[in-house]
Structure 1
Amino acid sequence: MLTPDAALRRILDALRPRAPLQGERVPLAEARGRALAEAVVAGRPSPPFDNASMDGYALRAADAPAPGAGLPVAFDVFAGAPADRPLPPGACCRIFTGAAIPPGADAVEMQEEVERRGRRAIFRRAAVKGRFVRAAGAELREGAVALPRGAVVDAGAVGLLAALGRTEVAVHRRPRVAILATGSELVPVDGALRPGQIRDSNSHALAAACREAGAEPTLLPIAGDEAEALDRALAGAALADVLLTSGGVSVGERDLVRPALERAGFSLDFWRVAMRPGKPVAFGASPRAAVFGLPGNPASALVTFELFVRPALRALAGLPGNGRAVLPARLAVPWAKPAGLTVFLRARARVEAGALWVEPLATQESGHLTSVTGHQALAVLPAGAERLRRGARVSAILVAPPTLDPAAPSDLA
């Protein structure tokens, strides 16, 4: 069996020729969280003109070389108005933040350092050339790359694009994911239950995880444990970049997904990983799409999604890594595990006395949805370990911010 790290490398290597997906143009309001499929070049300098970074007085620095210099106030300059007249020699002007520096001025003094006496301004300190002046092009020169290809658009980048006059931008397409739940025991979430049946929860959980990873999920009709039903369902995934199936990839007599995938043109690379939960996980590809055969147990499906599908979807979307912080942590309770398997415990995470602690949820049963509800981390117990003591060093994949110890001192207080 592959280790989890080796399995992920195989997946990303297989996706490399098709990742990232081609670009599409989207409105600025829809660009956040997407990876740029083009470099964005500044069409004009930023800022476009010299302007004041403080409310105060614009002057020639040479006219106030020492504290106590007094200059007449020639006029006022407000933000949004052009600097349409030069500053007379030996004078200053009242200026406001963002207003254009008038020709002849080369410094601004903040109003707190100026005493106003009628139409004269008395400067409490020597002026310095360039002080509180934002020079044209200081942020970006005309023709400079404002955002490189592949940059992830965050709120600041949205503002920068708006400042550059971009109403739309080219970004890599979101992966389209088809989700197929399999099993004759499953009924839709709004369906009536008969004896022996359960509602399909995996499809909805995986769809939520896909959206959080930046993909566009589509739920296919549930397929029962019959070859013909699986073949019909897989035909509905023709336009997907990624197919996710849950259930039916183990070794039971009714585990028919693997042969159905092969009939649909998928070549499977692997179907077992040395991990818990999620050992029966499969990966493969066809010329048009990748496929992940995830286990049917809810915790196994979501953990394998987190470890393998999430980074794959982000790679297709042009996004870096898995988007998670992986930090050293300490195990809050002792734990025993089988040797040879990497174990991923769903855990709460807290910062205490400068250390990150991970405390496993009360249940780790792979069939329990409560074992994947409300956790903040996956505590990674290494394959070679069998018994870990309290305080043992482990890795933690943070899926949500850790809780901070309220009693701990804070630099922000």
Structure 2
Amino acid sequence: MIAVEVALSRVVADLVPTTGETVALSQSLHRVLAADCAARVSHPPLDVSSMDGYALRAADAPGPLTVLGEAAAGHPFEGVIASKQAIRIFTGAAIPAGADCVAMQEDCRRDDNLVSIDSPIAAGAHIRRAGMDFHHGQVLLKAGTLMGPRQIALAAAMNLPWLPVRRRPRVAIMSSGDEITMPGEPMRAGQLPSSNGPGLAALVQANGGEAVQLGIAADTRQSLAAMIAAARGCDLLVTSGGASVGDYDMVQDALTDHGLTLDFWKIAMRPGKPLMFGHLRHVPVLGLPGNPVAAMVCATVFLRPMLRCLLGLPPHNPLVSATLATEMPANDARQDYVRATLTRKPNGAIIAQPFGRQDSGALSGLAGADCLIVRAPHAQAVKAGDAVAILPLHGDC
């Protein structure tokens, strides 16, 4: 068995980001930029008012000044402000030629077409200068940026209708075993619905990939071979089940028949000891355990960082600290991933409560978990109130 950290370094070592493609701004949510993006306009594009009030020359205050007209956002005043003149102006409107400040309307007194300024005002007051936020040609969104709502809003302000992004990694997902069927299909005695395929596909999609569900391979070389052949053209092949050494665990042998170069297939972790990794020609292959919880935990620890690498992102699984709600015994030689819930105390402390049942087939516990408490090999016993490392699940496992 190899350590989790060693296994993780191997699975991401040779991954190369996918090629770029161009998508519409409206389709860029959760996509990763493949190139730097520069603004096509300055923002604001010209001097504009930051207040409702009157545009004038500061030297002419307090007035009275003759009001020549008005300017609103998108409707500029076309004339030139001369001495002792002003215009009514609204927030976002262009500053007219000749004016050098804006007096707020609450500091002004209007009498027919005359306005007087009640408070001192300086040149430049309440004017947003052209390019105050950013300038034409300025790079504001860099390659590797994960596009969220705020980044999309910025791209729109930069006048970018299209964005260069990484192609979504295509991940072929193959489940195996005569004991599983697709959800909703008739089941024979001893069969159960397959949860790994749908769960892994969802995790791939939640982490920026495109899931290609190959289906369920029967426990025969012929069925496995057909499924493996169907994975051609994908960036990554993920299997679940059949990675161990039992009489019916044929996945590793079938992959070897097709040219698999095996790197490892045992990891010192719980759940998930029988985890396989290798390359089928140039395609990475991640063989996950068949037990549903073990498959999803291993996917969180290994598949999620692999997807991040394929998207050009750092392959990190950030751990944070929490306070343990109850004692836990000393750990054995395997790194343990313990399902737990989180609560926040009024003082801001985050409390992790491990579930009493940690069976690798209990999906209901994983679905209700907020995090995985990560316990290193041979970790000493811990008491309630001690700090522990947790891997937040954030709803994508």
Task: For 1:69 and 1:274, locate their aligned partners in 2 and report how far apart those are by CA, in whole Å.
Answer: 82
Matches within 5 A, 1:152-231: 152-231=146-225
Deviations 1:164-192 (A, max 9, x none): 33322210001101110011111121221
Task: For 1:246 and 1:159, locate their aligned partners in 2 and report how far apart those are by CA, in whole Å.
Answer: 40
2:326 pairs with 1:333: yes
Task: For 1:154 and 1:287, locate their aligned partners in 2 and report how far apart those are by CA, in whole Å.
Answer: 36
1:404 — aligned with what? none
Task: For 2:304 and 2:377, locate their aligned partners in 1 and report how far apart those are by CA, in whole Å.
Answer: 22
CA spacing shift, 1:209–1:121, aligned 2, 3 Å = same
Tell me if structure 2 keeps the 8 A contact 1:69–1:124.
no
TM-score normalised by length of structure 1: 0.90
Deviations 1:21-65 (A, max 9, x none): 00011121111111111222222322111111221221222333x
Tell me if structure 2 keeps the 8 A contact 1:339–1:386.
no
Q: Per the alignment, in what secondary structure is the counterpart of residue 163 of structure 2?
A: strand
Matches within 5 A, 1:12-411: 12-15=12-15, 18=16, 20-64=17-61, 70-322=64-316, 326-352=319-345, 353-400=347-394
Tell me if structure 1 keeps the 8 A contact 2:39–2:160.
no
Shift of 1:394: 0.8
Shift of 1:207: 0.8
Shift of 1:286: 3.4
Tell me if structure 2 keeps the 8 A contact 1:337–1:343.
no
1:6 — aligned with what? 6
Identical counterparts, % of pairs: 39
Task: For 1:311 and 1:36, locate their aligned partners in 2 and report how far apart those are by CA, in whole Å.
Answer: 17
Task: For 1:368 and 1:28, locate their aligned partners in 2 and report how far apart those are by CA, in whole Å.
Answer: 41
Unaligned runs of 5+ in 1: 402-413
Task: For 1:363 and 1:61, locate their aligned partners in 2 and report how far apart those are by CA, in whole Å.
Answer: 74
RMSD after superposition:
1.9
Shift of 1:231: 1.2
1:410 — aligned with what? none
Q: Per the alignment, in what secondary structure is the counterpart of residue 112 of structure 1?
A: helix
Task: For 1:105 and 1:255, locate their aligned partners in 2 and report how far apart those are by CA, in whole Å.
Answer: 81
CA spacing shift, 1:82–1:266, aligned 2, 3 Å = farther
CA spacing shift, 1:106–1:5, aligned 2, 3 Å = farther
Shift of 1:283: 1.6
Q: Which amino acid aligns with 1:9?
A: S
Shift of 1:114: 2.5
Tell me if structure 1 keeps the 8 A contact 2:204–2:211.
yes
Shift of 1:386: 4.3
Task: For 1:72 and 1:287, locate their aligned partners in 2 and report how far apart those are by CA, in whole Å.
Answer: 81
Q: Per the alignment, in what secondary structure is the counterpart of residue 98 of structure 1?
A: coil
Shift of 1:156: 2.3
TM-score normalised by length of structure 2: 0.94
Deviations 1:227-261 (A, max 9, x none): 22211111110021111100111222222111222
Task: For 1:126 and 1:320, locate their aligned partners in 2 and report how far apart those are by CA, in whole Å.
Answer: 54
Q: How many residues align?
A: 394
Unaligned runs of 5+ in 2: none
Task: For 2:161 and 2:293, locate their aligned partners in 1 and report how far apart those are by CA, in whole Å.
Answer: 42
Tell me if structure 2 keeps the 8 A contact 1:34–1:319.
no
1:405 — aligned with what? none
CA spacing shift, 1:6–1:123, aligned 2, 3 Å = farther
1:407 — aligned with what? none
